[in-house]
Structure 1
Amino acid sequence: MSRLSYLKVKNSTDTSADIYFYGDIVGDEWEKWCDTDTCPKDIIDALSEAQGKDLNIYINSGGGSVFAGLAIYNMLVRAKGKKVCCIDSLAGSIASVIAMAADELIMPSNSYLMIHKPSNMVWGNATEMRKMADDLDIIQLGIEDVYKNKLKDGVDIETIRTMMEDETWLTASEAEKYFNVKVVEGNKAVAKLDLNNLKNYKNIPKEFKDKIQKGGRDEHLQLDNELKNKLQIELELLNM
């Protein structure tokens, strides 16, 4: 599968199409590490293919580039047709911003929303480092503006700002207290997400780590069984 083919609109009908965010959010094609990573150009192509249809958006991503994610958010907001987003496992960091582009945001009961302050690396003198801190504060204001559009009545943005300061992981039921989210019954099947992609986050819930690690063990067990079956068939053929 080529990188460009992953985000092609799936399950397209006359009136709707499915789009998946199942990897990191990156700035361009050269920044992709795997087929599931997504950049703004992918969304331009996908929306062009969807031709104004209703969009079913599925997210399982720990985030990535702030500016790429904001560009994707704005493109989805401008897109014609109704947009329904389902967080299959995690919408973390800038992926949580992309989720807010939907007219209807759905979270299975076993999914997560993670919000935190934007971060960056900087090399330079004291003046350059202070400027980066100021720039990050401005960037955060843009992210907060997105969250404001999905806040439940009575929830103040200051509450969300404090949660961002602490890097807050919200279960579906917790997210429903602050954002306009529809909670549905969780699927027992766990959407795959590599824990290595979340290594820079400090407050990953233990149950979320356990869920991903168990999924990885189950996947390895399945691969081991497939290898054993293949070897068994080859041995039987040799004995024929």
Structure 2
Amino acid sequence: MMKKFWNWIKNDDGRTLYLDGVIAEESWFGDEVTPKQFKSELMNDKGDITIWINSPGGDVFAAAQIYNMLMDYQGDVTVKIDGIAASAASVIAMAGTEVLMSPVAMMMIHNTMTVAIGDSNEMHKASEMLSEVKESIINAYEIKTGIARKNISQLMDAESWFNAKKAVELGFADGLLFDAVDREDNGTVAVMFSRAAVTNSLLTKLIPPRPENKTPIEQLEKRLSLLAH
């Protein structure tokens, strides 16, 4: 039996789709059965749907197909992020008619990655492919947020993480869950940070700047002088 990364639940409130864990954990890209089964389950009924997302991401091509299916769906799609919507999962979230995040949820966007083996020509082809995939992802982010493509590209380059309030501020989400958005002060601070900035900050602290105009001998003499005291 195929291990699915999605699960549909039907109740009095309508249909709810749960996306938990890695997107396309077993197979999706190049697998005709899996996309067809997802689409069959999606189109099995009508009406508005709710999607709960808690995923670190996964196969970008699987995410692209799910995004397309949801965008084409005849009905409102409410996305609710209760944990994390990172990487490919953030692309799926962009298909929401309304995107809501828990005050303690996180969203992350970054550049696409792949594994390539071969000569310089193969490496060049892989690089070109990644660039095109990035542009396609930017399309989804741009449609949802209205942010300039150049700025989105820079956010992806930096591997940017947003808390719920920052995601709303930038347009990646529309509001907060649990009616927190209606409160005068919900205690949530808008925060964004990037892996590149954090790495550079740590390196600056771990590797002290080199003293100017001092030879290695002078530096050693200074250290010995300090030890003597």
Does the pair score TM above 0.5?
yes
Q: CA deviation at 1:181?
A: 2.0
8 Å contact 1:7–1:42 — kept in the other structure?
no
Following TM superposition, by how much is the alpha carbon of 1:29 offset from its aligned partner in structure 2, in angstroms?
A: 4.8
Rate the CA distance shift 1:180–1:136 in 2: closer, same or farther, 3 A: closer
Equivalent of 1:23 in 6, 21, 24: 21
Does structure 1 retain, via aligned residues, the 8 Å contact 2:142–2:149? yes
Q: Which runs of 5+ in 1 are unaligned?
A: 32-38, 188-201, 207-240
Q: In the alignment, is residue 166 of structure 1 matched against residue 164 of structure 2? A: no
> How far has the Cα of 1:185 moved from its partner?
5.2
- Cα gap change, 1:123 to 1:180, in 2 (>3 Å): closer
Query: Which residue pairs with 1:223 in the alignment?
Result: none
TM-aligned CA deviation for residue 27 of structure 1: 7.5
Give the residue type in structure 2 aligned to 1:176. V
TM-superposed deviation, 1:80: 1.1
Matching residue of 1:72: 66
What's the counterpart of residue 175 of structure 1? 167
Report SS of the residue matched to 2:115. Answer: coil
**Matching of residues 1-240 of structure 1 within 5 Å:** 3=3, 7-13=6-12, 16-26=14-24, 29=27, 40-49=35-44, 51-152=45-146, 155-184=147-176, 203=195
What is the distance in 1 between the residues matched to 2:2 and 2:63? Answer: 22
Is residue 111–residue 186 contact of structure 1 (8 Å, CA) maintained in 2? Answer: no
Q: Secondary structure at the match of 2:39?
A: helix
2: CA distance, partners of 1:147 / 1:30: 22
Kindly report structure 1 stretches of 4+ aligned residues shifted beyond 4 Å.
27-31
Q: 1:172 to 1:122 in 2, by over 3 A?
A: same
Of all paired residues, the percent bearing the same amino acid is 30
Cα distance, 1:60–1:3 mapped onto 2, change above 3 Å: same
CA drift of 1:45 comes to 3.2
Q: Structure 2 vs 1, CA of residues 42 and 174 (structure 1 numbering), >3 Å: closer, same or farther? A: farther
Aligned partners of 2:16 and 2:51 also within 8 Å: yes
Q: 8 Å contact 1:27–1:67 — kept in the other structure?
A: no
User: What's the C-alpha RMSD, in Å, of the aligned pairs?
Assistant: 2.8
Provide the residue aligned with 2:211 in structure 1: none
Structure 2: segments with no counterpart, 5+ residues: 180-193, 199-229
Would the aligned equivalents of 2:23 and 2:57 in 1 still touch at CA under 8 Å?
yes
Q: In 1, Cα distance between the equivalents of 2:70 and 2:28?
A: 22
TM-score, normalised to structure 2, is: 0.70
Q: How many correspondences in the alignment?
A: 179
Amino acid corresponding to residue 12 of structure 1 in structure 2: N
Partner Cα distance (1:103, 1:30) in 2 = 25
> What's 1:232 paired with?
none
The answer to which structure has the higher helix fraction is: 1
Shift of 1:66: 0.9
Q: Which has the larger radius of gyration?
A: 2
Q: State the alpha-carbon separation in 2 of the partners of residues 67 and 8 from structure 1.
A: 19
Distance 1:8 1:112 in 2: 22
Cα 1:64–1:41 change in 2 (3 A) is farther
1:106 to partner: Cα distance: 0.3
